[in-house]
Amino acid sequence: GQQLNQSPQSMFIQEGEDVSMNCTSSSIFNTWLWYKQDPGEGPVLLIALYKAGELTSNGRLTAQFGITRKDSFLNISASIPSDVGIYFCAGQPPQRTYKYIFGTGTRLKVLA
């Protein structure tokens, strides 16, 4: 079945640094979503992307829908300790207008 490759799997960064992560697929997607999940909690929606090439910001977060429709990127600027958590991408394939496929996550740790 379709899979989303998310990278890096984990990263340690210093507070104040910028962070970049991405999600790639061999298939195209209609929608890309980015989530953050804290331990024991459900994923929290950060950014939703609906059109190829779309660039959307939410505070210090910026995400882009790749023009090939097979990838998406999330950037976090000036990281702070509360950015720690697991970041997931999710894509909605065109042939199924309701099912989302999730990546395996990027674990972010911020060192103060």
Partner 1 sequence: DTGVSQDPRHKITKRGQNVTFRCDPISEHNHLYWYRQTLGQGPEFLTYFQNEAQLEKSRLLSDRFSAERPKGSFSTLEIQRTEQGDSAMYLCASTLGAGGAQYFGPGTRLTVT
CB of 22 to partner 1, least distance (A): 15
Closest to 72 (Cα-Cα) out of 86, 51, 94? 51
Taking the C-alpha atoms of residue 27 and residue 81, their distance in angstroms, rounded to an integer, is 35
Question: Can residue 43 be called a binding residue for partner 1 (CB under 8 A)?
Answer: yes
Min. distance of Cβ 104 from partner 1 in angstroms?
5
What does the per-residue mask of binding to partner 1 show for 17-36, with x meaning CB under 8 A? -------------xx-x-x-
Give first-to-last CA distance, the chain, whole Å. 40
What Cα–Cα distance (Å) separates residue 8 from each residue in 76, 94, 97, 110, 112? 14, 26, 28, 15, 21
User: Measured between alpha carbons, how far is 82 from 38 in angstroms, rounded to an integer?
Assistant: 10
Q: Which of residues 60-99 bind partner 1 (CB under 8 A)?
A: 88, 90, 92, 96-99
The reply on whether position 55 binds partner 1 by CB under 8 A is no
Binding residues vs partner 1 (CB under 8 A):
4, 30-31, 33, 35, 40-45, 48, 50, 88, 90, 92, 96-105
